[in-house]
Amino acid sequence: MFIRRACLFAFLLSLSAMMFAQEKEPLFTEVIDVEVPHISTDKSVKYDYDIVYVRAPRAGDEIHKRFYLDFSSPVVMEPGADLMLLHPDGSEELLVEGGEGSITDPVISFDGQWCYYVHIHNLQKASQWNPPREGADIYKIHLKSRKIVRLTNQKFTPNTGAANWNPGARHDPANPHTKDKRYIDYGVYNMGPYPLPGGKIVFTSNRDAHKPANGYPAMALQLFVMDDRDESIGDY
């Protein structure tokens, strides 16, 4: 009885596969209209505010380049992405230039006065398996005055009680006494800032120098909270 049921199941499975293979996938060959109408054409939308966004260059339709971050490559993207400001009249303004690095993870403060963002410092010849030693840090820009405040630094904080870490967790090839110590070849990546009530910021970082258990992706980002303080501007 068991053999008969198994044979019947295999027959039905084979029949389903044949029927599925005979169905041709429909082709949609019409040209897709990608022209976006100006927001002024929609009278139901009241657009009287600025928009902060990241502008990245295109490599064209034939070459794939990663101008975004995802799980497989959480800290490395193509260089040259800038932080921009779009005004209601359609004009644009450069806030922060990416340069040899890139800007990512923008978010606006609760009061609308600041924009938090991440600057990946150097992405020349970088890859997801070879993150730059310069790392990435969190900044905020005061949108009215254009004052930029750096909120993080490139300091590793590994558990020195669990391993024999090199000072600063960095490799020093000029010091032969450090060859048997643990070290990290890439930088500290402080990413994904988001404001919290009470003057705090939640973000992710690899500053504790953990590595993923299965070796993928290249580093482990943990969740942290820090203070957000800058009293130099006064009331705003």
Q: Which of 97-101, 144-148, 203-207, 209-213 has the lowest mean pLDDT?
A: 209-213
Q: Helix-strand-coil percent breakdown of the chain, rounded to 5?
A: 10, 30, 60
Supply the mean pLDDT for the chain: 83
Phi, psi of 76 (to 5 degrees): -125, 130
Residue 23 has pLDDT above 80, yes or no: no
pLDDT of residue 122: 92
> What distance in Å separates the CA atoms of residue 169 and residue 172, rounded to the nearest whole number?
9
Residue 136: what pLDDT?
96
For residues 168-176, average pLDDT: 73
Which pLDDT score, from 0 to 100, does residue 232 have?
Answer: 46
Q: What is the structure's pLDDT at 74?
A: 84
Calculate mean pLDDT across residues 52-80.
82
Tell me the mean pLDDT in the region 122-136.
86
Give dist(CA 68, CA 56) in Å, integer. 9
The pLDDT-based confidence of 3 (bands split at 50, 70, 90) is: low
Residue 120 has pLDDT above 50, yes or no: yes
pLDDT tops 80 at residue 6: no
d(CA 54, CA 31): 28
Q: Which amino acid is at 70?
A: D
pTM: 0.76
CB 102, CB 81: distance < 8 Å = yes
